[in-house]
Amino acid sequence: MSHHHCHGHDHDHGNADEVGIQYNLYEKIDKENLECLNETIDGSGKTVFKSWDERHDRTRFVESDADEELLFNIPFTGNVKLKGIKISAEDSDSHPAKLRLFKNRPNMTFDDVSIEPDQIFELQKDTEGVLEYSPKIVTFSSVSHLTMHFPANFGAEKTTIYYIGLKGEFSPGHRHGVTICTYEVRPNIDDHKLKNMDSVSRQIE
């Protein structure tokens, strides 16, 4: 399909397809609950978490609203060991200049970002998504929620981002899930019986 005509973009060290396979954590984001604060268009922040093949898609992007700051609250559907971040934006002053990462702090707002982040990256302008920023493995080895704060760009009034790629390892399920299951075996069986009876009686009607 589309990934066969990417010769010319193969200045990632190694095969572009391979990079694409690694940058698949967008599939593990709980998109329903992902939020982007200070976005101009509601829901546009979710659209920048897309597949590697779509990283050059300029039709879906997020632009900041009141000022240049953007804040993403990104819940995952399990646990992530975060290994790489790529960001693609315009070759202009609207490109974000700094990224502050916070781990496992759901529902952050701009009031909360004054606290010390878990890591800070100084960003360079990147229109192709070729630069990779590496989170500290020790810090970001068990992430169920990632907050990305872009506090500044290169001088424009608003910040625009086309693509955010996340690379890492994913483990399904939440912590303590196993222990909870063992205690809930009995009640669950009863729940299912009730549900089945409901569905039977509906079918009879």
Instruction: For the chain, 205 residues long, give each residue's pLDDT as a single digit of tens.
Output: 444 444 334 344 456 678 878 999 999 999 999 999 999 999 999 999 999 999 999 999 999 999 999 999 999 999 999 999 999 999 999 999 999 999 999 999 999 999 999 999 999 999 999 999 999 999 999 999 999 999 999 999 999 999 999 999 999 975 444 443 344 444 554 555 555 555 444 454 4
Contact in structure between 60 and 47 (CB atoms under 8 Å): yes
68 burial (CB, 10 Å; 0-12 / 13-18 / 19+) is buried
The alpha carbon torsion through 4, 5, 10, 15 (nearest 10 deg) reads 0
Rounded CA-CA distance 23/19 in Å is 6
Contact in structure between 120 and 99 (CB atoms under 8 Å): yes
Identity of residue 171: S
51 burial (CB, 10 Å; 0-12 / 13-18 / 19+) is middle
**Residue with the two structure tokens 């005509």:** 5
How many other CB atoms are there within 10 angstroms of residue 139's CB atom?
Answer: 13
**What's the length of the chain?**
205
Contact in structure between 102 and 96 (CB atoms under 8 Å): no
Contact in structure between 43 and 32 (CB atoms under 8 Å): no
If residue 81 lies in a helix (H) or strand (E), which one and from where to where?
strand 70-88
Rounded CA-CA distance 87/43 in Å is 18
